[in-house]
């Protein structure tokens, strides 16, 4: 129980503060976007760049860590696709969107800030690498599945240029601020370039603001989502299946991969994989739902539901993976 008081309760207390600020009209709901933009474009990239650029190179090339995450994502994604294809009779490529719902977590706005708040800045390195692997793998799967289907629908025999497809993947994965800062940090770490003092002070000062700001913004955003609860565009069986896969099955698979199949020596890195897999569905899923006009009405409810329920499941998996010993860095 000690872990609840040391880590879980303080972290989610920040979310509750944001929620109350919205419900009590202390801050406008529109402030959520401003706070999220600050985190996404400024504080979180600063935190990731500083953490990764100053990390030992051998940490960045942890093969078991990379393989564990990659196989974890693919296993749950394929499992979801098969379940919704066989039991719910959904069509391809729509089933891939269900796969994104169950595998793509809110690592940027919740996962990284949560781990940093719980374990200190050293947790930002594994969290950043996991985020990049998730982005590269899942976004690529979604784009390829939908775009390739479009090609086949426009006459399979026609020769089509694949460069636009490659460009779309590169833009979506590599050029967002979070992954760009991660890649820049990796380049600096590998090349062993010393960071100028002004940049060091800038990133070290700006980065820590990412955690509390993102958590507060999450609470503020939840306080404004009243209409989502009235959503009737979903089936209860699908809803329960998706929540179970995202918040229970994926974290349990993560435990299997990091402790059994690809055992990680670093306890913090193993814990990071489990906690990041237990996160609620990320908001980026809605962006792709709109882009491909698939599950547009259902995704907001799934995001809200997984976010609310994850308060319980994340607490449980923190206790399972860390027991009673924890350092709050």
Is residue 329 situated within a structural domain? no
Q: Quickly count: other Cβ atoms within 10 Å of residue 257's Cβ.
A: 25
Q: Which is nearest to 327 in space by CA: 115, 121, 118?
A: 118
- Look at residue 328 in the predicted model and tell me its pLDDT: 39
Please name the residue that has the structure tokens 């950043």.
128
More confident call, 210 vs 172: 210
| Report for 73-77, 118-122, 143-147, 262-266: range of highest mean pLDDT | 73-77
Is residue 327 situated within a structural domain? no
Q: What is the DSSP letter of 17?
A: H
Residues 6+ apart with CB under 8 A from 195: 50, 53, 54, 188, 203
More confident call, 21 vs 163: 21
Band (17; pLDDT cuts 50, 70, 90): very high
Tokens of 184: 């820049």
Mean pLDDT, rounded, for 281-293: 82
Is residue 129 situated within a structural domain? yes
Task: Report the percent of the chain where pLDDT is more than 70.
Answer: 85
One DSSP character per residue, 271-319 reads HHHHHHHTSPBPTHHHHHHHHTTSSTTTHHHHHHHHHHHHHHHHHHHHH
Q: What is the largest CA-CA distance in the chain?
A: 63
Band (214; pLDDT cuts 50, 70, 90): confident
Residue 157, pLDDT > 70, answer no
Is residue 328 situated within a structural domain? no
Task: Report the percent of the chain where pLDDT is more than 90.
Answer: 24
Helix (H) / strand (E) element for 11: namely helix 9-23
One DSSP character per residue, 118-139 reads HH-GGGHHHHHHHHHHHIIIII
- Look at residue 21 in the predicted model and tell me its pLDDT: 92
* Structural domains counted in the chain: 1
Taking only the tens place, the pLDDT of each residue in 79-88 is 999 999 999 9
Contact 93, 146 (CB under 8 A): yes
How far CA 117 is from CA of 35, 75, 111, 122, 156, in Å, comes to 18, 29, 10, 10, 51
- Look at residue 162 in the predicted model and tell me its pLDDT: 60
Contact 14, 216 (CB under 8 A): yes
Tokens of 256: 């299997």
Is residue 299 situated within a structural domain? yes
- Look at residue 229 in the predicted model and tell me its pLDDT: 55
Is residue 10 situated within a structural domain? yes
- Look at residue 187 in the predicted model and tell me its pLDDT: 87
What does the alpha-carbon distance between residue 326 and residue 90 come to, in Å, rounded to a whole number?
A: 44
Band (161; pLDDT cuts 50, 70, 90): low
Q: Label residue 293 left, alpha or beta by phi (over 0 means left) and psi (-120 to 50 means alpha).
A: left
Residue 189 belongs to domain with CATH number? 1.20.1530
Contact 113, 219 (CB under 8 A): no
Is residue 104 situated within a structural domain? yes
More confident call, 233 vs 210: 210
Domain assignment of residue 153, given as a range: 2-322
Contact 278, 113 (CB under 8 A): no
Band (325; pLDDT cuts 50, 70, 90): very low
Is residue 256 situated within a structural domain? yes
Name the average pLDDT for the chain.
82
Tokens of 160: 């089509």
Mean pLDDT, rounded, for 193-214: 84
- Look at residue 33 in the predicted model and tell me its pLDDT: 80
What does the alpha-carbon distance between residue 5 and residue 8 come to, in Å, rounded to a whole number?
A: 6
- Look at residue 326 in the predicted model and tell me its pLDDT: 40
């Amino acid at each position: 129980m000690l872990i609840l008081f040391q880590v879980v309760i303080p972290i989610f207390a920040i979310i509750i503060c944001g929620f109350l600020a919205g419900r009590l009209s202390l801050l406008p709901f529109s402030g959520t976007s401003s706070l999220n933009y600050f985190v996404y474009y400024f504080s979180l990239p600063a935190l990731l760049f500083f953490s990764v650029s100053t990390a030992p190179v051998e940490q960045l090339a942890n093969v078991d860590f990379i393989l564990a995450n990659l196989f974890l994502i693919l296993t749950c994604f394929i499992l979801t696709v098969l379940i919704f294809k066989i039991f719910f009779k959904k069509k391809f490529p729509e089933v891939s969107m269900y796969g994104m719902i169950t595998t793509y977590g809110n690592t940027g706005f919740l996962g990284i800030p949560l781990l940093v708040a719980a374990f200190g800045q050293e947790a930002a390195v594994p969290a950043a690498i996991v985020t990049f692997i998730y982005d590269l793998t899942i976004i690529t799967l979604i784009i390829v599945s939908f775009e390739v289907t479009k090609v086949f629908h426009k006459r399979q025999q026609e020769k089509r240029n694949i460069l636009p497809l490659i460009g779309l993947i590169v833009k979506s994965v590599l050029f967002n601020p979070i992954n760009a800062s991660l890649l820049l940090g990796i380049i600096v770490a590998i090349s062993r370039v010393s960071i100028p003092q002004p940049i060091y002070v800038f990133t070290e000062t700006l980065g820590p603001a990412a955690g509390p700001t993102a958590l507060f913004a999450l609470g503020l955003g939840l306080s404004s989502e009243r209409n989502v609860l009235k959503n009737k565009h979903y089936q209860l069986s699908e809803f329960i299946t998706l929540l179970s896969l995202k918040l229970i099955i994926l974290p349990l698979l993560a435990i299997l991969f990091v402790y059994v199949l690809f055992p990680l020596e670093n306890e913090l890195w193993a814990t990071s994989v489990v906690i990041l897999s237990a996160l609620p569905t990320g908001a980026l899923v809605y962006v792709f739902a709109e882009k491909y006009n698939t599950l547009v009405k259902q995704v907001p409810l799934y995001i809200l539901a997984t976010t609310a329920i994850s308060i319980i499941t994340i607490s449980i998996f923190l206790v399972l993976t860390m027991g009673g010993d924890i350092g709050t860095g």
